[in-house]
Structure 1
């Protein structure tokens, strides 16, 4: 089950503002919070008191809370990999290790008696497989990528997938960050250019960032890295279909009601006998065997990648089949142009595999 999360940085805000944001996110089904102890400069006593209240408020609203730590944070808090009592007293659910200790210490921390999940840095090459071979408790092990405040420094997509595939192959849950496009958002550091994991996601609409991560079929939890996202952004994420790849569309001006019906009201699956030229959804053909889809003239000689077409009366055996073009094909009069996938959404088409379900988002 996918969990959606927000990030909060109490040292840069107030309890009341953070609590109102928690309540707003809870309203839209969010249930994870990421917060950071790396940037906190207050005394240990103040940190413990402040974060106890923070976590209690979060728990009351149904959130689980992860705190970002490193060796320096452990030292300040009086904790060790063998003694996490202070984090247990604070009711921390997840300890994220921005760095790591040593092999034996990293194994020991997963064996903590409090059931605190240990979240390893997914944007680094950690030998978690060897740790597991040597007794690390996989029930207390999860993975979360970094976020990147500085523009142009986020993970490249191929490196992101390389790391993600490595840790998913071990059966571990993997989380990643998306970024709000709201004005004047912030994170733990004085940099204000968004907080995504992947550089390609910076400044994309937040729901597209989420849909792209989900389309990998590898990311379990998705967190908004910066604070505060707008209510519209939280709502948009809450409305994302988390069971299949979904595309927004630019509909043709002369599209018919029947064609819109095929687009939005049928389940779509790419055929297993896949072509290089298109993704075919054949289910509508069953209903349109004895119906008509009149040919509509289309002035262009070719259909291009991202065009959505429906087979018309000129090829009656396949009439009603919806096809997403993946490689240029000639316009031979057998298909009606019905829509186009917008340019920035084509990143999703790269991840649509044969037999995967997909759908289209109807803009109200």
Structure 2
């Protein structure tokens, strides 16, 4: 089951803001929090007091909290890979290692007696399988990617896929960050250019970022890296259909009611015998066997990438088949243009593999 998360940075927020944000996000089904101790510049006593209060409030709203650490944070709090009692005393749910210690220490920390899961950096090329082979507790190990405050520094999409596939194939739970487009959001550092894992996502609507990550079929949890996201963004993420790839669609003006039903009423599956020219959804054909879809004229001689078309009466055997065009295709009068997938959502087409289910979002 996928989990949705928010990030909170107590050193840059008021208690009132934190409580309001937790309450708002929990109401939309969010149940993970990412927070960071790397950037905190307070005394040990202050950190322990304030963070313990933060953890208590988070747990009241049903959140599990992952705290970002490194060897310097461990040393500052008086913890070691062999004794993490200071984190247990704070009520930490997940310890994220932004920087790891060494193989022996990394193995030892996964076998902590408090059974606090250890979250390894999914954006680094670690040999977690080797750690398991040498005694690490696989069931107490998860991964979470980095986020990237600096513009143009986020993970490339291919690198992201390669690293995530590696950890997912080995059975580790995965997580990645998306970025709020709300103005004046922030993270742990004084940079305000968003906090995504993947550079391709930095300026995209937050629900599209989420849908793109889900479409890979290798990401479990999705966390908003910066704060504070808007209520509309939280709502959009909570409404994403996690069961299939979904697209926004711009319906053409002359689309008929029957064609609208074809888009939204029926389930769509990308055929296994895939074409280079289009994605075919044949399931609705049975329902349209005795229905008419009159041919409508199209200005232009070609359909283009992202066009959504319906086979019409001129090819009655296939009438009612919905197709998404992948490359320029001649208009031979056998298809009606019923909608267009926005260009920014074409990235989802690359993830829609043969035999994957897909659908469209009501605007």
User: Which residue of structure 2 aligns with residue 84 of structure 1?
Assistant: 84
User: Which residue of structure 2 aligns with residue 329 of structure 1?
Assistant: 329
User: Which residue of structure 2 aligns with residue 241 of structure 1?
Assistant: 241
- Secondary structure at 2:313 match in 1: coil
Name the CA distance, whole Å, in 1 between partners of 2:188 and 2:299: 53
Name the CA distance, whole Å, in 2 between partners of 1:232 and 1:313: 42
Name the CA distance, whole Å, in 2 between partners of 1:60 and 1:163: 35
- Secondary structure at 1:354 match in 2: coil
Give yes or no for the alignment of 1:164 onto 2:164: yes
User: Which residue of structure 2 aligns with residue 203 of structure 1?
Assistant: 203
User: Which residue of structure 1 aligns with residue 182 of structure 2?
Assistant: 182
Q: How far is 1:169 from its partner?
A: 1.2
- Secondary structure at 1:314 match in 2: helix
Q: How far is 1:305 from its partner?
A: 1.2
Name the CA distance, whole Å, in 2 between partners of 1:13 and 1:61: 18
Name the CA distance, whole Å, in 2 between partners of 1:162 and 1:86: 35
Q: How far is 1:203 from its partner?
A: 1.2
Q: How far is 1:94 from its partner?
A: 0.3
Name the CA distance, whole Å, in 1 between partners of 2:263 and 2:208: 20
Q: How far is 1:250 from its partner?
A: 1.0
Q: Deviations over 1:296-348 (max 9, x none)?
A: 00011111111100000000000000001112211000000001100000000
Q: Deviations over 1:27-54 (max 9, x none)?
A: 1000000000000011111111111110
User: Which residue of structure 2 aligns with residue 147 of structure 1?
Assistant: 147
Name the CA distance, whole Å, in 2 between partners of 1:144 and 1:300: 47
Give yes or no for the alignment of 1:59 onto 2:65: no
TM (norm. structure 2) is 0.99
Q: Deviations over 1:206-260 (max 9, x none)?
A: 0000000000000000000001000010001011111100000111110000000
User: Which residue of structure 2 aligns with residue 129 of structure 1?
Assistant: 129
- Secondary structure at 2:213 match in 1: helix
Name the CA distance, whole Å, in 1 between partners of 2:184 and 2:319: 51
Name the CA distance, whole Å, in 1 between partners of 2:28 and 2:39: 28
Q: How far is 1:82 from its partner?
A: 0.5
Q: How does 1:262-277 map to 2 (within 5 A)?
A: 262-277=262-277
Name the CA distance, whole Å, in 2 between partners of 1:164 and 1:130: 17
- Secondary structure at 1:39 match in 2: coil
Name the CA distance, whole Å, in 2 between partners of 1:9 and 1:232: 21
Q: How far is 1:352 from its partner?
A: 0.1
Name the CA distance, whole Å, in 1 between partners of 2:24 and 2:307: 38
How many residue pairs get aligned? The number is 363
Q: Deviations over 1:39-76 (max 9, x none)?
A: 00111111111111101111111100000000000000
- Secondary structure at 1:173 match in 2: coil
Q: How far is 1:192 from its partner?
A: 0.5
Flag structure 1 segments of 5+ consecutive residues without an equivalent: none
Point out 4+ residue stretches in structure 1 off by more than 4 angstroms: none
Name the CA distance, whole Å, in 1 between partners of 2:244 and 2:293: 28
- Secondary structure at 2:218 match in 1: coil
Q: Deviations over 1:138-180 (max 9, x none)?
A: 1110000000001010001001111101111110011000000
User: Which residue of structure 1 aligns with residue 353 of structure 2?
Assistant: 353
Q: How far is 1:132 from its partner?
A: 1.0
- Secondary structure at 1:164 match in 2: helix
Q: How far is 1:358 from its partner?
A: 0.3
Name the CA distance, whole Å, in 2 between partners of 1:60 and 1:357: 37
